Structure 1
């Protein structure tokens, strides 16, 4: 791709602004290269978002913005899109039903719709109603071509050609009933897992803490389950998590920790606990907040077979040298543009949908 089209160039400019904005917040100064009006708008929305949704702390929103500032570089966008012929797209209206579990979780879907030359009809989650509209407002100012290309609605979705909907296993049944006659991508619950061998370094286990605690474990890429060798000693694992011990001071997290601990105690479940995280042996994948499930294995081939069989429940796998598509420790919440949710290529889906 020798020359960026205006749609893609707008996202590059957005990424540059987000990078400068985060640097200003980190340094507690305002750079002369950052538009002061937009700086204040983003700063205010971060504060308001936290008041609206207690899980959207300043640190977590900034992490999302910082991750997008890196992802939206010229190099990344070119590497992502060079394999597609965007000229093949037939303009369409794409309904987006977005989740709100972590800040701006639906931004990748919106990005995909716009860079392929389509119109997005967006139904926001009630948990995340402020951040995405602000990003669209910024994009529209720097690229007027996006005007009328994004429509936010609270009403029943109508007049669309395709749909991308993200929700729970329960809402997926509703989505399939309502959207089943249109070309669609319907996403259900998924979680990330980590496969440990017992030979991990302190640095790897410390990085794993980011995969577990970032966004309070609410993301589909949050590690909610560990596969460990039989007889695994969790002492080193718990020591490496200590950098997140202050998380227990967040009242919503603490309430979940207290509640789930009480349930485990009353039910006489066996679990390990370090005062802010519980580790419980369980065959499931979707662990409650403040809990990580674990399952023992004897042979690495056994856990590979199980993960392959349960792939519909797993978003990504953290490990070192065990899987061809593994995610490095500490990197689950910084996906690349080509790391598609559920492994479904949304660009290809949009280009093939007439």
Structure 2
């Protein structure tokens, strides 16, 4: 193996480890809380065929400790064919600050962006909160997130864990959610937010209007959360903060159905992140391609085996440290039991699913 190949592989490994270290530094930085005035809040919940989930979601929102006279809840019925609308209407008779909006036309190709926009159009709040119909926000969700809205903060994102059962797939999906939140907290902590979850985010209506809402990303399927966050980061001076407080966690059920399609959909947004992020993502992707393929095609090269094996060992240690800090931050140490399975699957997952996310079509739910 020539010196150029050695330099190339070790450079990719160095980039990966550097990113882990930088994100760990960001993870350890806590967002500063402020004692702000009582802001008006609009919670937007898009719902499509969520009759089995909407009651629990609205029960959780009804239990919020935030003053009712500063809070409105808007559930957007996105052309449901089940009893979702009827269940929402039943709740409107119990909660004066709850209303239902029905989607009647399509402003954007992405159904969820369209539903969110229909709700935001009717919203009167200074701060927009979004979550999904299968989520269960804790009672202090709104209060906790508002404490992070300093005058220069336009968006607050948070942890969205998945409820876990004893099944392997559920454990892996829960660990994936932990990885997303750890990466979100770490990248936001260094002022370069990379990801977030629409199940747990809040932003100023003023900032949303400044970046023209979903207008520039409405043609992209998916990305109602991450791509909107990237709009805030790239097109405005507003800061983005991660709220790691346990009171702000928003758990939801995992969805093992249509698993491949969902995973491809999640990864399809990467190509729209912007040049700096794409360069980093490409370096990480090539690093995993190298780990997956070089030993297969050059299995007779002992030096290469040693180098790739060393890089793989370093990567596993770095991943373990990264997730250890994340699991401590988000009180999810039990999820580390799935770490060995994750490390077996993560390289083929990145190599195959990320490629499909860029090249392959997928269906919305």
Q: TM-score over 0.5 for the alignment?
A: no
**Greater share of helix:** 2
Q: TM-score normalised to the size of structure 1?
A: 0.29
Greater RCO (Cα-Cα under 8 Å, separation 6 or more): 2
Q: TM-score normalised to the size of structure 2?
A: 0.29
